[in-house]
Structure 1
Amino acid sequence: MQVLIVEDDERVADLIRRGLEEEGFQVELAPDGLTGHRMAHAKTYDLLILDIILPRLNGLDLCQQIRKSQPEVPIMMLTALGTTDDKVEGFDAGADDYLVKPFDFRELFVRIRSLLKRHAKRPQEALLTLADLQLDQRTRTVWRAGQEIELTPKEFNLLEYMLLNQGRVLPRTEIADRVWDMPFDTGTNFIDVYINYLRKKIDRDFTPKLIHTKSGIGFILKEG
């Protein structure tokens, strides 16, 4: 497994590198965003780990640029920025997971293993539908009533999971675990924020409404 770590703190980068190499990964380091951008486009990696506060090109912009050419590569943000708004920005930029510094390497490794497993099992060339909503897992495009709808990578992943489980109430704890690969923090509302994003894009101007709230439990995707 080839991993690229884009991190300007040499101590942190070396700590992660040594830990992953002990687990059998092959690791390369980039000390700034532009170097990371060049390396990420020069070869294929199985995983990218990005800091956000980077010299020359910040991690959010780097993530967005990589996503344009490599929509499927797993990307983890590893940063000291830990507010709900910070996490939403990271996921909107295209990150698959987000871990806040300081961190325990054991948690980092478990998250990496889970992220790689999740991507390896992702079905290919499948069309998911509900009413006039269509989601193409191969091209990562979404249509409603014949109109293409632009979603961020994390919005797409959330809608994909809801379509795969349509007709079933999904608790916030399950969504956090399966879509964000993290425990649900009752002190944050980022899941509700993303549900609201989806509602505005796939429900607000269309009928029937497909996303429904089950008070005190979670959300369900169904027709009517």
Structure 2
Amino acid sequence: MNILLAEDDLQLGELISFMLKKKGGYKVDWVTEGDDAYEYATASHYDVLILDWMMPNGDGISVCQKLRSERYSGAILMLTAKDTVEDRINGLDAGADDYLIKPFEIDELLARLRALTRRNYAPILEEQISIRGLIINRTSQTVLQGEEEIQLSPREFQLLDLLVKNKGQVLPREVILDRIWGIDADVSTKTIDATIKLLRKKLDTFGKQDLLQSIRGVGYKIEN
């Protein structure tokens, strides 16, 4: 099982990571900031995300909400010292699947992880869409041309998927920035142009050079 642990308390994070590896036999990536948790979660596959509520550069609630708004379907367990009913409701409403209050026993954490993965193994119907001969699978976040997969980064896939969802419409750079990176992200519209350039280069290899259309001074669109 692959676990992403986001915990800014260095002593606790080291202990949890060690025990998950030793007692659970799990593979664990450990980060200490919210921004890193989001980046890791979108760049790799994890069976469960363990998110601390309070972290620098993006708390666990914000990370959870952002991932769910982008259709992240993996299991998320929230860790927190907040123990009121209202806090639990807020955590679950943010998209967490389970909630564990500090301090806790490692055996209880392991039991909850086992329960989450059993729940997460239920078959999921794949969501696919076809455009101009490309098969875009939103469940696995893959793009196929025939039998061959076009290797895209998470950002490139999100950008292509956003344009496909809004095919026929011009998406201004500001809208793309808000939907993919977040309006408060420390990136400029030049980042969008650079990502489009990389995406277009990969699509060009498969003869899809005219799929992404630039609208001068505004943004981008995809036509059927």
Tell me which interval the TM-score lies in, with the shorter structure as reference length. 0.5 to 0.7
Do 1:49 and 1:75's aligned partners in 2 also have CA atoms closer than 8 Å? no
Which stretch shifts more, 146-155 or 116-125? 116-125
**Counterpart position of 2:203:** 202
Deviation, 1:125, is 1.4
CA distance in 2, matches of 1:201, 1:75: 34
The one of 28, 31, 55 equivalent to 1:50 is 31
Do 1:127 and 1:135's aligned partners in 2 also have CA atoms closer than 8 Å? yes
The total of aligned residue pairs comes to: 164
CA-atom RMSD, angstroms?
A: 4.6
Unaligned runs of 5+ in 2: 75-123
> Structure 2 length as normaliser, TM-score?
0.53
CA distance in 2, matches of 1:221, 1:74: 34
Larger Cα-atom Rg = 2
SS at match of 2:207: coil
CA distance in 2, matches of 1:195, 1:162: 11
SS at match of 1:142: strand
The one of 99, 119, 128 equivalent to 2:71 is 119
CA distance in 2, matches of 1:198, 1:74: 28
SS at match of 1:30: helix
**Counterpart position of 2:152:** 151
CA distance in 2, matches of 1:219, 1:127: 22
Unaligned runs of 5+ in 1: 7-12, 18-27, 53-58, 77-100
CA distance in 2, matches of 1:143, 1:127: 11
Distance 1:192 1:141, change over 3 A: same
CA distance in 1, matches of 2:176, 2:217: 14
Residue identity matched to 1:42: Y
Question: Sequence identity of aligned pairs in percent?
Answer: 26
Do 1:141 and 1:148's aligned partners in 2 also have CA atoms closer than 8 Å? yes
SS at match of 1:125: coil
Do 2:127 and 2:137's aligned partners in 1 also have CA atoms closer than 8 Å? yes
Equivalent positions of 1:11-50 (< 5 A) are 13-14=8-9, 29-31=12-14, 38=21, 42=26, 50=31
CA distance in 1, matches of 2:189, 2:182: 15
Distance 1:171 1:140, change over 3 A: same
Deviation, 1:160, is 1.5
Distance 1:158 1:186, change over 3 A: closer
CA distance in 2, matches of 1:135, 1:148: 10
Deviation, 1:146, is 4.5
Residue identity matched to 1:115: L
CA distance in 2, matches of 1:37, 1:180: 31
CA distance in 2, matches of 1:31, 1:194: 35
Residue identity matched to 1:202: L
SS at match of 2:70: helix
Distance 1:74 1:180, change over 3 A: farther
**Counterpart position of 1:214:** 215
Distance 1:208 1:189, change over 3 A: closer
Equivalent positions of 1:101-116 (< 5 A) are 103=57, 109-110=61-62, 112-116=64-68
Deviation, 1:104, is 7.6
